[in-house]
Amino acid sequence: MQRHQPRRRLPGLPCTSSYKKTLPFLLLIPTSTSTGMCRESAFAAAVFAIIDQGDEVILFDPSYETYEGCITMARGIPVFVPLDPPHWTLDPNKLMQSITGRTKAIVLNSPQNPTGKVFTKDELETIAEVCCRRDFLAITDEVYEHITFDNEKHISLASFTGMQERTIITSSLSKTFSVTGWREAALTALRSPPEYFESLRRDYELKRDYIVEFLAGVGFKIQFKPQGSFFLFAEIPESCPLSDVEYVTELIKQAGVVAVPGRGFFHKKKFSQEDCCYQKRYIRFAFCKSNATLAAAAQRLGDLSEATGCLKFHSFDRKDA
């Protein structure tokens, strides 16, 4: 089990509130006396601070699994608004239909885990307008704000008119500085020059392009190229009868390559009349790995592929998944 060092401010380091530089937004990030606080703890603290029993909190689906648990523990009610595949676009009508008299807040993760989506300016304006008009609070998870691709730019929801006083921002030094699990190292990395962020972004963009190319080459359906974060939400080949859970199981058994079944990021919604079969057709890959590890994964998947370029598992037992 990992043990963290006692939380303290390291000598010579600036207060971590300077991490957001001069942005005058309402922040929930580590203070100078609690530099070891992780992003999940910050998010949970925000939820417990503003959510009362029975309050509804809107989230966009697919969604990082931690959010639902925090809201439920605070005795709030998570309400999931489905983003439309394959580009995971926000339908304003679905957002409006999810609002009730008990709605208290909206949670926004952009760039998003698991899809790699960066919410557009129009989508953010829609969310901001709803928050201001209905007097909602917003909790944003901006952990991947510096990891965006193809000239996409992260825009904080707090930067929109009327949102400064109603937005709680959570983020993470360990993700930004690529030192997950080494939080004091992340604080030390605060001394890094601005060029560091561009170098980090370029490195991840190359890894993204590499994984997209080799997964498409073995039959995965890549209709949405990640715009940010270090995750790829890939659709299982159309010709494959396996579910996401079955497919991931065979990847592990036969190739030694690990991914996450997509259904774990989807949740029950108010829009039950929609066809949600696609929820069992996605799996999430993480490309925050060394080039050698990515190359080894590509080689193993290549060894399993047929002449047609699609993966061919030797044998498998179908279960009701």
Q: How many whole angstroms separate alpha carbon 225 and alpha carbon 228? A: 9
Q: What is the pTM of this model?
A: 0.85
What band does 195 get if pLDDT is binned at 50, 70 and 90?
Answer: confident
Average pLDDT of the chain to the nearest whole number: 84
pLDDT in tens, 260-279: 999 999 997 654 556 678 89
Token pair 């439920």 in the structure block, residue:
72
Average the pLDDT over 198-210 and give the result: 95
pLDDT in tens, 132-160: 999 999 999 999 998 999 999 999 999 99
What band does 309 get if pLDDT is binned at 50, 70 and 90?
Answer: low
Nearest to 182 by CA among 36, 306, 84: 36
Q: Please state at what angle helix 291-304 crosses helix 195-217, rounded to 10 degrees.
A: 10
- Answer yes or no: is pLDDT of 37 > 60: no
pLDDT reported for residue 171: 84
Nearest to 233 by CA among 284, 304, 177: 284
Nearest to 183 by CA among 174, 175, 192: 174
Q: How many whole angstroms separate alpha carbon 86 and alpha carbon 224? A: 6
In 110-184, beta strands by DSSP E: 137-141, 167-170
More confident residue, 116 or 241: 116
Average the pLDDT over 90-109 and give the result: 97
